[in-house]
Structure 1
Amino acid sequence: MKKSTSLVAVLIFLIQNTFVQTSHCDLVSDTCKKTPHPVLCVSILRADSRTEGSDVDGFAFIMVGEVEVKASDVLQKIGHLRKNKPLSDCQGYYVAVVQNNVPQAENAIDGGDGGKGEQLMNDVIGKADSCERGFQGSSPLTSLNIAVKDVSSVAAALARLM
């Protein structure tokens, strides 16, 4: 009798745990569907262990961190290229993203101010656009600027959903 009670308890635990994980995956999918790049959103959130047990606020915080990663990638690429005026301008934009926009957005999201987080991420999009426009013709940073803009637009949408 005791053996069957233990088995039932284990089965109940497994069913509940599966339901919680499934409903959390649904939260990620449902939330990401409300962003401009749902596939990108889902792939970033599912790859981050902090997503487990997070809510939309946590998702926004994680995505802002991804903006920092992408902006740092741009800065690294700039460091490997021969300096010229457009690259120096881009470096200034992305230093501001990493040193100002990202920390301020994280603080805003942590404080529950999704509107400010959204505004700061939209500002990052503007900086990436300004960087790209600084080149006459082909930019060596186009793909990185696009990646920053895409992740920033997802972060802005998640902040708006808070």
Structure 2
Amino acid sequence: MAIGSECRVYHPNDDTLIESSCKQTPDPNLCLQIFNSSPRSRTADLRGLGLILVDVIKTRSISTLNKIRQLQQGASGTLKGALASCSGSYDGILRGDISVAISGIESWNFKFAEQAVTDAALQVKNCQEEFNGISSPIVDENNFVRGAANIAQVIVRLMY
């Protein structure tokens, strides 16, 4: 059996691929929003959709980390500590989870990729929890990145 045959095969331009895949995720609306905003999704197979999600997680993580760094300049007390923790979380996502997820998808090691996006979701959850008792200035960013990572978990799992 060839390695490639282990992945559920969908043909590019399969109109139902995105819709049927997104229906299985924890946030079908966000899933559809992400794929509908990417021209690459129209010709992508399931692996391609997984790579699109990882790219989205990477892009949003970069912009969130940049926002965190700006917010740190004027922060003090509990907010400063929470932002420092979040900076470490997003740095970990960008330095580790993203490359591991891409490598896992590209090398057909889907369990490896799934672990990486699961870790990214956990990192964001931990970041948000650091704002215990205070208002998080990055709640929208955290919700988006965590949502995209949770969607990526399901999409990668569909590749098995």
Give TM class, smaller chain. 0.7 to 0.9
- Distance in structure 2 (CA, Å) of the matches to 1:36 and 1:140: 24
Match of 2:3 in 1: none
Give the Cα separation in 2 of the matches to 1:136 and 1:71: 21
For 1:56 and 1:126, the matched residues in 2 are separated by 23
Q: Gapped runs of 5+ residues in structure 2?
A: 1-10
Out of 147, 152, 157, the position equivalent to 2:149 is 152
State yes or no: 1:97 paired with 2:89.
no
What is the 5 A alignment of 1:20-35? Answer: 24-35=14-25
Q: Which residue of structure 2 lines up, in the alignment, with residue 80 of structure 1?
A: 70
**Matches of 2:59 and 2:127, distance apart in 1:** 17
* Offset of residue 134 of structure 1: 1.3
Richer in helix (by share): 1
Residues in 2 aligned to 1:48 and 1:141: alpha-carbon distance in whole angstroms: 24
Residues 114 and 161 in structure 1, CA contact (< 8 A), matched pair in contact too? no
Percent identity between matched residues is 27
5+ residue gaps, structure 1: 1-19
TM-score where L is the length of structure 1 = 0.81
Aligned-CA RMSD value: 1.7
Question: Per-residue displacement from partner, 1:69-100 (whole Å, max 9, x unpaired)?
Answer: 12112112112213412111110110110111
2:47 equivalent to 1:51: no
Mark the CA change 1:34 to 1:136 in structure 2 (over 3 Å): closer, same or farther: closer
- What SS does structure 2 have at the residue aligned with 1:136? coil
Please tell me the residue identity of whatever aligns with 1:65. Answer: D
How much has 1:136 moved relative to structure 2?
Answer: 3.1
- Which of the pair has more CA radius of gyration? 1
1:141 paired residue number: 138
Q: Is the 8 A contact 1:71 1:148 kept in 2?
A: yes
Task: Work out the CA distance in 2 between the residues paired with 1:113 and 1:55.
Answer: 16
Structure 1 residues 100-109 or 71-80, which shifts more? 71-80
Normalising by structure 2, report the TM-score. Answer: 0.82
Give the superposition deviation at 1:158: 0.6
What SS does the corresponding residue of 1:35 show, helix, strand or coil?
Answer: coil
Moved over 4 A (4+): none
Counterpart code for 1:146: N
TM-superposed CA distance for 1:24, in Å, is 2.0
Shift of 1:27: 1.3
Quote the Cα distance in structure 1 between the aligned partners of 2:158 and 2:109: 11
Q: How many residues align?
A: 142
